[in-house]
Amino acid sequence: MTIAPAILPQLSNRESNAHTTLRGARLWVARAFWVIACAASLGMTAALLPMILRQSDYGDWMIERTALLFDIRYFSPAFDTYALFLVGLKYLAVILFFAVACFIFWCKSDDWMAILVSIILLFIPHTFNLVGYTDDWYLYDYPLNKLMYALDTFFNIIGLALLFTIFFLFPDGQFVPRWTRWFAIIPLLLTIPIWAADVFSTSLIADDRIPWTVIILVFLGLLLLVAWSQIYRYRYVSTRTQQSQTRIVVLSLVTIAVTLAGIVVISLFGLPFNSASFLETPLGTLISFLASNIVLTLLPLSFGVAMLRDQLWQSERVLNRAFVYFALTAILVIVYIFIIGALSEIFRATNNFLVAAIATGVVALLFQPLRERLQRGINRFLYGQRDEPFTVLNQLGAQLENSIAPDTALPLIVETIARTMRVPYAAISLQEGENTRLVAETGSQENRKTGIPVSLATAFPVSIPLRYQNETVGELKIARRAPNENFSSADLQLLENLARQAGAVAYTARLNAQLQQSREKIIAERENERKRLRRDLHDGLGPTLASQTLKLDAAMELLNDERRETRDAREILRDIKTQTQNTVADIRRIVYELRPPALDDLGLVGALRAHLAQYNTVNGLQITFDAPNELPPLSAAVQVNAYRILLEAVNNVVKHAGAKNCVVRISENRDERLETRDLRLEIIDDGIGLSENFRAGVGIASMRERAEELGGTFRIEANEPRGTRVIATLPIADSR
């Protein structure tokens, strides 16, 4: 297996992210700011943990209100389980936000856009109260409650303002359209006064100097504006590379904006069928909670998927196992809580050792099979079916069985490889002489679906030769999943297995193409021959016979006229005789060009010996003819092509070689292993040889075509110590 050199520079991502890269002092300041923001967010979350534990035991207003929907009584085991489930659900989302934020910073800590997104993901749990309601600081009278409340509220404000900012700036750090930059400062202008009024107990909003309805309507307008901004940027401004990398993130941003806008509208105007505020009902509260949590988790999930699968910010495919164990932990925690809740409800006990033991045993039994399934699922998501070679080969075999022609089988192979290996580009080229011809590819035609340009897909290809019976028949090119990512040993093993299957199909496709070309060439040659015969008959024999008719008429008139002498008639008849002889010669020439009669009369060896004898007196050239007395039975096509090749080669020696000696040799070659026979033609002279600027002319091209159209070979080379050697082989059909 060979790795082809890069044919295009790695520009697609670097050009789009060059102006967001940090260097020098700015880089260290940005990293320090992220560390401070991360420490503050984690510290605030840790400080709120006791309150969260209290909520898991006794609930809060949201848990109490939504419990009414399921008729769950307060202080019952079912209520404790329900509260633990909702609190656990929120904190799973918090863990996801923190994990993706750290992942982004780890991968792209030198890009201010990535750092900004990471900071926003750290603040979002505080903005939407996923880590707890800080209003309870006053209720439980914790130490430093005023300061903690002010800090958490500040996180809420900054997180909300930055969320709008990232809507306007993502993915390249530019405002699109440019006039949207003036709307990006509106969230700060509104949220900072609200934060100050809330923390310092001013009457900015209480006296309706800024009515809440106006503020909410402004935020509603901003939500719709940022959704439109992202759609506009994606459709009309982003490159195809950016579209490919940001598609899932843009979709999640628009979904979040539309969902929050819907919640705002319902909170302001209610529903048409419900006069009361729908969000204050148990069902409305539960729907609002689930919708906001599920929709908000789209943000970290979309960034994580975009970085892992679509190479957002040129991120590497790392943290595979980290994501496996995160998903494994989340699922096992949910299973554990569900088992504890269900068994506690059955046994009417909350602190039962048997319940905990059963739940722990179930989790232990599920750990290994669940981990394997998750690992296999994430590997398939990232790398395709490289760990399932038999499945891939079976799929390919089934598709090849249903394919009608080899020409349709090669596109099926490249599509199967691209799909199962999760690569953006795959192509197969067939070897045709010294050149290759692209016959099937996938990636360039999929640009409209995937957004991956050919320049990126083929920037760093891996080339695998396709072989059949020890002959290289083509080449398989696979683009890497990412410019900096190498294929693993499992990838390479699967690709080699697929290449073996593709080799036979490529060989069949090449034979099919050669057969089609031969058919077209035969038809073209037949038509050309018909045109030549028509031209010769029309331009040569036709006018000659017509003139003879006129001359015969003139001769008859002279003979009928008794007053004139017959000398003129005899002269005309003499001209007619000469024309008739020339016409016969033309007819013989045409017949000879169709098939030399000497081949039928003397055979190939006899015809060549008789023809070559004519050259022994030309320019002092001595021709030696070496051939067996009897050749095996030859088809008419082999006889004619061998005859034409040898005469054309000898004619070149006579005209251009300046040689004194020439050897024309005919022999039969047998390959016992392959059970094949060839007629070998060899013409050797001691002339001036091939020049340094030698270029094949019409005669040499004709000899090559005559050999190759029968499946043979032709080559012309220098002879040692001087002269030229022409060698042609023509396959002999088995007459047995």
> What are 171-188's pLDDT values in tens digits?
777 788 888 888 877 777
Domain membership flag for residue 2? no
- Asked whether the predicted pLDDT for residue 643 surpasses 80, the reply is yes
- Are the C-beta atoms of residues 49 and 69 closer than 8 Å to each other? no
Q: How many distinct structural domains can be found in the chain? A: 5
Domain membership flag for residue 9? no
Q: What is the model's pLDDT at position 8?
A: 32
377, 451, 457: which is closest to 414 by C-alpha? 457
- Asked whether the predicted pLDDT for residue 503 surpasses 70, the reply is yes
Which of the 8 DSSP states describes residue 480? -
- Are the C-beta atoms of residues 494 and 416 closer than 8 Å to each other? no
Residues 442, 584: one domain? no
457 token code pair: 């897909």
- Report the pLDDT averaged over residues 103-129: 81
Domain membership flag for residue 398? no
For residues 686 and 319, which has the higher predicted lDDT (pLDDT)? 686
Count the neighbouring beta carbons within 10 Å of the beta carbon of residue 188: 16
> What are 377-416's pLDDT values in tens digits?
666 665 555 555 555 555 555 555 555 555 667 777 777 7
> What are 701-724's pLDDT values in tens digits?
888 888 888 888 898 888 888 888
Mean pLDDT of all residues belonging to the chain: 71
For residues 433 and 680, which has the higher predicted lDDT (pLDDT)? 680
Residues 584, 515: one domain? no
Residues 575, 672: one domain? no
Q: What is the model's pLDDT at position 7?
A: 31
Which of the 8 DSSP states describes residue 333? H
Count the neighbouring beta carbons within 10 Å of the beta carbon of residue 436: 13
- Report the pLDDT averaged over residues 181-208: 63
List Cα–Cα distances, 385 to 84, 190, 376, 393, 412, in angstroms: 39, 51, 9, 10, 16
CA 146, chain centre distance (Å): 57
**Last-in-domain residue among 537, 568, 594:** 594
Residues 176, 87: one domain? yes
> What are 55-92's pLDDT values in tens digits?
555 556 666 777 766 666 666 666 667 777 777 777 78
d(CA 503, CA 465): 8
401, 404, 382: which is closest to 393 by C-alpha? 401
Per DSSP, what are the bridge partners of residue 626? Answer: 665
User: Residue 570 maps to which CATH number?
Assistant: 1.20.5
Banded pLDDT at 585 (limits 50, 70, 90): confident
513, 468, 514: which is closest to 708 by C-alpha? 514
Residues 571, 607: one domain? no
Residues 120, 142: one domain? yes
Which residue range is the domain that position 413 belongs to?
Answer: 404-519
Which of 187-191, 504-508, 680-684 ranks highest by mean pLDDT? Answer: 680-684
CA 694, chain centre distance (Å): 43
> What are 125-144's pLDDT values in tens digits?
877 776 655 555 545 555 55
Q: What is the model's pLDDT at position 230?
A: 80
- Asked whether the predicted pLDDT for residue 483 surpasses 50, the reply is yes
Domain membership flag for residue 588? yes
Buried b (16+ CB within 10 A) or exposed e, 96-106: bbbbbbbbbbe
- Are the C-beta atoms of residues 541 and 587 closer than 8 Å to each other? yes
- Asked whether the predicted pLDDT for residue 33 surpasses 80, the reply is yes
250 token code pair: 């843009």
273 token code pair: 């069928």
Buried b (16+ CB within 10 A) or exposed e, 586-615: eeeeeeeeeebebbeeeebeebbeebbeeb
- Report the pLDDT averaged over residues 360-376: 68
- Are the C-beta atoms of residues 681 and 725 closer than 8 Å to each other? no
Cα angle 309, 310, 314 (rounded to 5 degrees) comes to 110
Phi, psi of 279, rounded to the nearest 5 degrees:
-70, -15
- Report the pLDDT averaged over residues 13-24: 61
Which of 159-173, 182-196, 520-534, 549-563 ranks highest by mean pLDDT? Answer: 159-173
598 token code pair: 């000497």
- Asked whether the predicted pLDDT for residue 269 surpasses 60, the reply is yes
Least confident of 30-44, 126-140, 613-627: 126-140
Q: What is the model's pLDDT at position 542?
A: 63
The percent of residues above 90 in pLDDT, for the chain, comes to 0
The percent of residues above 70 in pLDDT, for the chain, comes to 57
- Report the pLDDT averaged over residues 670-688: 80
Residue 16, CB half-sphere, CA atoms under 13 Å: how many? 20
- Report the pLDDT averaged over residues 304-328: 57
Q: What is the model's pLDDT at position 135?
A: 54
Read out DSSP for 92-106? HHHHHHHHHHHHHHH
- Are the C-beta atoms of residues 677 and 734 closer than 8 Å to each other? yes
List Cα–Cα distances, 97 to 293, 297, 299, 592, in angstroms: 11, 8, 8, 88
For residues 283 and 165, which has the higher predicted lDDT (pLDDT)? 165
The residue whose two tokens read 């539960």 is 286
Domain membership flag for residue 226? yes
**Last-in-domain residue among 504, 519, 534:** 519
- Asked whether the predicted pLDDT for residue 610 surpasses 80, the reply is yes
List Cα–Cα distances, 24 to 17, 161, 346, 449, 657, in angstroms: 17, 28, 63, 40, 73
For residues 44 and 526, which has the higher predicted lDDT (pLDDT)? 44
Residues 43, 118: one domain? yes
Banded pLDDT at 3 (limits 50, 70, 90): very low
84, 155, 79: which is closest to 121 by C-alpha? 155
Domain membership flag for residue 388? no
Q: What is the model's pLDDT at position 137?
A: 53
Residues 639, 655: one domain? yes
Domain membership flag for residue 393? no
CA 25, chain centre distance (Å): 40
User: Residue 472 maps to which CATH number?
Assistant: 3.30.450.40
Residues 73, 202: one domain? yes
**AA letter at 196:** A
- Are the C-beta atoms of residues 657 and 725 closer than 8 Å to each other? no
Instruction: Please enumerate in sequence order all residues whose Cβ is within 8 A of that of 563, keeping only pairs 6 or more positions apart, or say none.
Output: none
For residues 646 and 15, which has the higher predicted lDDT (pLDDT)? 646
Kindly give the pairing relationship between strand 676-685 and strand 713-718: unpaired
For residues 519 and 221, which has the higher predicted lDDT (pLDDT)? 221
- Asked whether the predicted pLDDT for residue 12 surpasses 60, the reply is no
**Last-in-domain residue among 299, 318, 337:** 318
Q: What is the model's pLDDT at position 270?
A: 58
**Which of helix, strand or coil describes residue 379?**
helix
User: Residue 679 maps to which CATH number?
Assistant: 3.30.565.10
Banded pLDDT at 455 (limits 50, 70, 90): very low
- Are the C-beta atoms of residues 34 and 109 closer than 8 Å to each other? yes
Q: What is the model's pLDDT at position 655?
A: 80
Residues 652, 549: one domain? no
Return the HEC string of 162-196: HHHHHHHHCCCCCCCCHHHHHHHCHHHHHHHHHHH
- Asked whether the predicted pLDDT for residue 204 surpasses 50, the reply is no
Least confident of 21-30, 311-320, 578-587: 311-320
Least confident of 123-127, 414-418, 459-463, 530-534: 459-463
Least confident of 118-132, 312-326, 348-362: 312-326
- Asked whether the predicted pLDDT for residue 439 surpasses 60, the reply is yes
Residues 540, 554: one domain? yes
- Report the pLDDT averaged over residues 320-325: 54
Domain membership flag for residue 15? no
Q: What is the model's pLDDT at position 90?
A: 77
Residues 363, 418: one domain? no
Instruction: Please enumerate in sequence order all residues whose Cβ is within 8 A of that of 386, keeping only pairs 6 or more positions apart, or say none.
Output: 379, 420, 421, 488, 490, 491, 494
d(CA 463, CA 270): 62
Q: What is the model's pLDDT at position 16?
A: 46
